[in-house]
Each structure stands twice: as structure tokens, then as C-alpha cells.
Structure 1
Amino acid sequence: MKKITVLLAEDHGIVREGLRTLLELSEEFAVVGEASNGREAVRMACQMQPDVIVMDIAMSGLNGFEATRQILLSTPQVKVLVLSAHSDDEYIRRMLEIGAAGYLAKQNSGEVLVHAIKEVAAGKPYFSPSVAKRLRHAKEKARLAGAPHPNPAPTLTKREAEVLQLVAEGLANKQMAAELGISIKTIEKHRQQLMNKLDIHDTAGLTRHAIATGVIESSIQETTANR
């Protein structure tokens, strides 16, 4: 029997170890790699092309939203299953719009995760009961209200999204240039385009926007600020 190949994208090492141990208890899965941040996940997804990626959202450097977007653009056959501590409506909506195949809250049991991986590997969407309930509630609320869909947020380029996250994490232009392998002048250009597109013209505002839209967690920003 062909095993389901799985890539784990999670920034907490102890969580990755637990997930690997759980999946390796079953002969149905083969964990082919572990990524500690979104950028690693994108690179490893292209190299390994696993059946399923178990993707966290809140990761430094490149968050799960942008990592998923880049992965599905380059390897659309890969299925991304979100496993996050966050089950806010906005997080779920954004991941679905990007193309995630399923969404689980980390509060779920290992048994639910195993079932979810099998389902998305078979081409079926899967949402944990609590997430499915939120989706139904949001859909019904919108239907009853008859409210028009809100105007979509401006679409950021790959580089603009990366720069936004790094700005919000507290990196200086020189540090961002080294992280992304581009010049400081190019960083400044992307930063200005980002501010113009979002109509936000200071670092504090960009950071607030990043936290509000789930690009980073407030705890990440606070940690970098206290270094």
C-alpha cells in the first residue's frame, strides 16, 4: 500500500516531534520532512512534493498564509491542511480563499488529525467540527443579514507580503535585505509600495495591520521589540 507522504510545517520543535511520532505510529503515513518556518516549507514542498502539508499559521519569517499561497502556486497538486491554535472566522476565510484543503484547531485529538490527513489526501475537504460549525454560522449570518461582501483587501505581491511580515517582526531594512537576499534599495522600494497600497505610512501602522490580519501574532512582535 502506498503511504501518504506528509510534510510538517510548524515552528515549535516539540510540536513537530509530537506530530511525527503520532503519524509514524501508523503504517499509512510517511513523514518526509519538517519545516520550522514558512520559507522552509515552500522550499521543501517544491523539492519533495508531498501528498499533504500540515501547516501552522503563526510562523516567523514567512507565515502560513503566504507559505500556503506560494506552495499552491508552484505545486497545486499538494494538499494543505491547516493546523492552528487560531480558529477565528477571518483566519479560516483567508486560508480557504488561498486554497487550503482543510482546517483543524490544535485543540483536536490526534485521531481527528489522522482522519483529516486521509480525507484531504483523498481529495476531500475536511474541517474539524468546531471550524465547520463556525463556517455554517458565518454563512447563515451573512445570508440572513443580506449584507454585501466587504471589499477585498489589497492584494500584495510575494515580496510585499514578506516585507510586511519582517517589518512587523521588527527587522531593520539591512536585516530584511540579508534575510531575503536582495539589496537594501530594493527593500526600500517594496516597503514604499506596500505603504502606498495599504495607505499606511508608518511602521507602527504596518505592525498593527499585520497583527489584525493574522500575518503575525502580537506575541511575536512584542518578543522582537524586547530584544
Structure 2
Amino acid sequence: MKVSASQLISVLLVDDDPRFRQGVQTLLDFYSTNGAMQFNVVGHAASVEQALSLTVEQSPALTLLDLELPPDNGISFLARRRDLTQSGKVIVLSAHQEDEWVFRAMQAGASGYVFKQNLSTQLCGAIATVLHNEVYLSPEVAAGFFRLFHFYAGRSLEACHSANLTEREQEVLHWLVQGASNETIAQQLHITVATVKAHLTAIFEKLGVTSRTQAIVRALKLGLVSA
């Protein structure tokens, strides 16, 4: 999704603090006035359910998401949003600076992560980056993210090799742990349901289990995938 400076970009603001949402909208209005990019805020949401509803209704090109959304959180929104097959991008705007939060958000489908304290200096660049189909991680975010990425990827790769899983079986296992049905797995991987079943049979045999639930538990214990 590449955009030009004259293209109107629809935006959904998701934060439980209305004052913060208004502050972000004011910043977007400033960008529009100065011609950097043209924005149209199509909705404000204060919860995961509101955000999902507006995502379906408005199909925003860009969602600016806080991670603190009582009683749930933004990670839950990202996970559930994947099932909506939305093509828009998501940038997390968060006060959380812990490496684990950054990693979980990016793993769940965010295209960028900006600390709220850096909003005024980084938001415009972050938006331009993700709307050109690239990932935005500022230097202070990137170091921690890649530290965890290499840690988890190394564990997962070593475990998959020890379990003798093929690359396709690893992909099927990933979707299985996400709770996807055989039909959904087939759609995501562009294969038939019969092929999915065949891969599951092979996975069960290699993991020494006899059910989907056992396979999920076994995969998580071995570090083959993360929840």
C-alpha cells in the first residue's frame, strides 16, 4: 500500500484516553495542513470491541493503536484483526518500552512501534514508512526487538530441527497454535484441506501426540512456536 502526498489516508484512533486521541488527531490535522500527507480520521475507539467494529465498518488504511485497552489489550486486537483479513497497517503508540511488549506487538501484526513520548518527532516518519510497505522501528525500539527476535527464533529453529518438522509443517503448526481450523489453515497457506490433514497427521506422529490440543501443548512446551 504505497501512498502519494495528495492521497487521503483513512485513520482509526484506538486509545482509552479521549484526550490522547484528540491530541493525535490534532497532530494529524497539522500534517494535513502542512501538506506532508492528507489524513481523514474515520473513527475513535476506546476498547478492543469498538476497534474491531470500526475496522470492519470503515476498513481504515491506518490504525494507530495503544496497548492499554482495559479490560483487554492491544495485542488482543491485533490477534483478532488478523481474522478480518484487513489490508490496512497498524502502528502501535505506547508508553510501554519493555522489549517484550515491542516484540509481542510486532509478532502479532503491527507494522510499526512508537513510544508515546516520541510521538511529535517520530509519528510522521513512522506513518510514511509503513504506508510504503516497510516496517518502522526507531533505534531505541529496534535494539530490544531484534535481541528478542534472535532469542526466540533461535529456540524455535533448534526445536523444529530436533522435531524434524518440515518448513510447511512448521507453518501448519503455527496456525494450529493460533486456534485456526483446517479450513482457515488451508486458506492461509493456499493448500487444500486434505493437504492440511496430511500435514497434521505427520506433525502428530513426529510430536508423539494424538490430538490437536496435545499437539499445541507439546509445541509450546518444546518452544516450537510461541502463543
- Band of TM-score, shorter chain: 0.5 to 0.7
Cα 1:156–1:72 shift into 2, 3 Å: closer
Gaps of 5+ in 1: 159-196, 199-227
3-state secondary structure, aligned to 2:82: helix
Displacement of 1:43: 0.5
**Separation in 1 of the partners of 2:179 and 2:149?**
29
Deviations 1:15-56 (CA, angstroms, capped at 9, x unpaired) = 011001110112222111110111111110111011110011
Which residue of 34, 37, 55 maps to 2:65?
55
Displacement of 1:61: 3.4
Asked if structure 2 preserves the Cα contact closer than 8 Å seen for 1:24 and 1:31, the reply is: no
- Relative to the length of structure 1, the TM-score reads 0.61
3-state secondary structure, aligned to 2:69: coil
Q: Does 1:134 align with 2:141?
A: no
**Separation in 2 of the partners of 1:157 and 1:55?**
24
Displacement of 1:156: 6.8
- Relative to the length of structure 2, the TM-score reads 0.61
Asked if structure 1 preserves the Cα contact closer than 8 Å seen for 2:96 and 2:115, the reply is: yes
**Separation in 2 of the partners of 1:31 and 1:65?**
22
**Separation in 2 of the partners of 1:60 and 1:105?**
19
Q: Residue in 2 aligned with 1:37?
A: 47
**Backbone CA RMSD of aligned residues:** 2.8
Q: Does 1:5 align with 2:15?
A: no
Displacement of 1:105: 1.2
Identity percentage of aligned residues: 30
Q: Does 1:19 align with 2:24?
A: yes
1:207-222 aligned at under 5 Å gives the runs none
Q: Which has the higher contact order (CA 8 A, sep 6+)?
A: 1
Amino acid at match of 1:40: Q
3-state secondary structure, aligned to 1:53: strand
3-state secondary structure, aligned to 2:104: helix
Higher radius of gyration, 1 or 2: 2
Q: Does 1:72 align with 2:79?
A: no
Asked if structure 2 preserves the Cα contact closer than 8 Å seen for 1:105 and 1:128, the reply is: no
